[in-house]
Structure 1
């Protein structure tokens, strides 16, 4: 059980909630803050004070005063009108993350929402009730308005939720659980949708997948090195200490650990003086991607515990301030940076694939790893596929955050496009996984040809695990299922 406080949620805990089915509970002290904030909203309504989002319209309509009798209708209209997401839904795991993150943000007690709404969110997490949320339609400022509106719809008994692979009406799930839908009170609709939880949820899933792939890229590269008689001198600790990047030093140390005991790695001058950059510079390139991951992790863990709606309520309601914490620029930058860092892991991997299949570069392995060169093509087109994915990543890596389009009658005149960046990062990560799967297939084939008995113990163990799901290339076959199986293994 993971206790949500609004301020201490970590990526490790998110991993447990998303992938290990950990349940959540609400911190009693956080609920006290929530109740005080709610009391403040109700007092504002009773006193008929004009406060944005409580008794005014939204965006360019912020100067329109709303009567007390219409405050509930105002919130309902807000959620319905903003539920205009487009395209395929986010994966269910992202939807789950979205609920957790919105719940955690509202537990900070600055939003004026009732505790019963947050308790319903916790019930949804613990009972796997995940909203169906379209991926497109967010500008990433004023919050992820469209995606989060689809999330909020489910509370109202509208919209849809996942049930296995199917989408079913939200009201069906509440009937199944014997619960009534939520009726939103003043400020609650705005509190639910003003925030960055769509881009951050996708960002969390991106990070967790990217971190795993970054580790995988090292043992896969180690297998490639064995197949190519790679020179381990390039990983000597003194080289990396001389430069000083901790991430670079860590990669070099892990590479030496993977390759310890290999009969196939060499030292400088034994077969050649030095390797090409795609081998020799693994610590420098992979290490730089680890630096990117460190930056992304830091920003995500701040945003996961941030109050990102508007307005925010302080000092028991005496101070209600309209600001812009919903603006997604920090996460937009982080996702664009993640795209670049992950794209490079695929880029250098594809160059190792080329070395494995090119008869001029692969240290005596058969051309294209073909069992019968000429009669059989072997891995020739596997390299084409990897090159295609790497090229696609170059277009996806274009930063989304440099774009902005004014909205809401130019009241909201600068936006982050952070959700687009997060979605494109997920596409890049998928492409990286497939490129690494191709490298793994080629590397294991190279090691098979060399003889697996000479492999390092740790890479041999990985080889055996791979060999349980795919065979080395011993005859031309349809390779798409192999790539899919290895990609799933990596995921």
Structure 2
């Protein structure tokens, strides 16, 4: 059981909740803060103190006063009008993460919602009721308004949810549980949708997948090194200590550990003095990607515990401040940075694939790893496919955060586009995983020519595991199926050990 208190959520705790299915409970002290902030909102309503989003309109309508009798209807209209999400829905894992993050933010006690609402969000997480949320439509400032409105729709019995793996109307879900939809009261609609939880939720899933991918990229690269009789001297600790980057040193150490008992690697001068950069510079390039992962983790874990709605209520209602914590620029930058880091893991992987299939570079391997070069093409077009994915990643890696389009009659005149950045990062990760699957297929074929019995203990275990999914290339076949199967296995396969 993981306790949410608004202040101590971590990436690992999110993983345990959304991927491992751990239940959550709400810290009592945090619930007390929620109650106090709700009392402050009710006091504002009763005294008709003009406060943004409670008794005023939204955005450019912030100067329009709302009559006391209409403050509840204001919130309902807000959710319905802002639920303009379009496109395919986010993966269910992302939807669940959005609920967890929104709940955690509300538990900080600055948002003014009722305990009933936070308890219902807790129920949705624990009972696996997840809103269907379209991916497109957020500008990433003023909060992820459109996506979070679809989350809020589920609470009020509108829209759709996933329940027990089925996509059903939200109202049917509540009825099946013997519950009634939430009727939003003052401030609650705004508190639900003013925030960065769409981009941050997808950012969390991206990071968790990118971490796993980065570890797997080292395991796959190690097998390629064996297939190409790579020179181990490039991983000597003295080289990496001389430069001083901890992540670079860590990658070099892991490569040494993976390959420590291999009979297929070589030493400087045995077959060649030094390898090409895609082998020799694995610690430097992969290490730089790990630096980005560390940066992104830091920003995400701040945002996991951030109050990002507007206005925020302090001093038990004595101080209510309109600000801009909903602006997604920090996460927008982080996602754009993550895109580049993962794209580079795929880029250097594709170069290693080229060395495995190119007879002028592969140190005696059959051309394109073909069982009958000329009659059969072997892995020739797998390299084409990898190159295509890498090229697509270059387009997706263009920073979303450098763009901004004004909205709400120029009241909201600068936005982050952070959700677009997160979505593109997700696509880059999928592409990179397929590139790495292609490298693994080619590396397995290469080590078969070199002698599987000479592999290191660690790479041999991977070889045997992956060979159960992708058989040896003894004749040309449709390799599309193999790539997808191994890519899916890499996605589902739990990383052997998190190093964070």
Counterparts of 1:71-82 in structure 2, within 5 Å, are 71-82=71-82
Partner residue of 2:498?
none
Partner residue of 1:119?
119
Q: Does 1:242 align with 2:248?
A: no
Cα distance, 1:163 vs structure 2: 3.6
Partner residue of 2:497?
none
Distance 1:462 1:22 in 2: 29
Cα distance, 1:318 vs structure 2: 0.2
Cα distance, 1:485 vs structure 2: 1.1
Question: Deviating runs (4+, > 4 A) in structure 1?
Answer: none
CA displacement, residues 25-44 of structure 1 (integer Å, 9 cap, x when unaligned): 00000000000000000001
Distance 1:369 1:164 in 2: 45
Counterparts of 1:443-482 in structure 2, within 5 Å, are 443-482=443-482
Distance 2:213 2:430 in 1: 10
Partner residue of 2:68?
68
- What secondary structure sits across from 2:208 in the alignment? helix
Give the TM-score normalised by structure 1. Answer: 0.99
CA displacement, residues 443-481 of structure 1 (integer Å, 9 cap, x when unaligned): 011011111100001100110110111112221111111
Q: Does 1:53 align with 2:53?
A: yes
Cα distance, 1:165 vs structure 2: 5.3
Partner residue of 1:220?
220
Distance 2:144 2:465 in 1: 41
Partner residue of 1:25?
25
Distance 1:262 1:87 in 2: 49
Q: Does 1:231 align with 2:212?
A: no
Distance 1:14 1:44 in 2: 35
Partner residue of 1:14?
14
Cα distance, 1:164 vs structure 2: 5.2
Partner residue of 1:149?
149
Q: Judge conservation of contact 2:90–2:135 (CA < 8 Å) in 1.
A: yes
Distance 1:373 1:164 in 2: 51
Partner residue of 2:376?
376
Cα distance, 1:350 vs structure 2: 0.1
Partner residue of 2:251?
251
Distance 1:192 1:489 in 2: 36
Cα distance, 1:367 vs structure 2: 0.1
Q: How many residues align?
A: 491
Cα distance, 1:166 vs structure 2: 4.0
Partner residue of 2:430?
430
Distance 1:472 1:446 in 2: 10
- What secondary structure sits across from 1:80 in the alignment? helix
Distance 1:163 1:478 in 2: 37
Give the TM-score normalised by structure 2. Answer: 0.98
Distance 1:18 1:437 in 2: 26
- What secondary structure sits across from 1:130 in the alignment? strand
Counterparts of 1:32-431 in structure 2, within 5 Å, are 32-163=32-163, 166-431=166-431
RMSD value over aligned CA atoms?
A: 0.6
- What secondary structure sits across from 1:178 in the alignment? coil
Cα distance, 1:168 vs structure 2: 1.0
Distance 1:490 1:260 in 2: 24
Cα distance, 1:167 vs structure 2: 2.1
Distance 1:165 1:362 in 2: 47
Distance 1:482 1:4 in 2: 42
CA displacement, residues 341-392 of structure 1 (integer Å, 9 cap, x when unaligned): 0000000000000000000000101000000001110000000000000000
Distance 2:245 2:147 in 1: 39
Cα distance, 1:397 vs structure 2: 0.2
Distance 1:117 1:149 in 2: 15
Distance 1:340 1:201 in 2: 19
Cα distance, 1:148 vs structure 2: 0.1
- What secondary structure sits across from 2:172 in the alignment? helix
Distance 1:424 1:134 in 2: 15
Distance 2:356 2:471 in 1: 17
Q: Does 1:5 align with 2:39?
A: no
Distance 2:211 2:200 in 1: 16
Q: Judge conservation of contact 2:129–2:164 (CA < 8 Å) in 1.
A: no
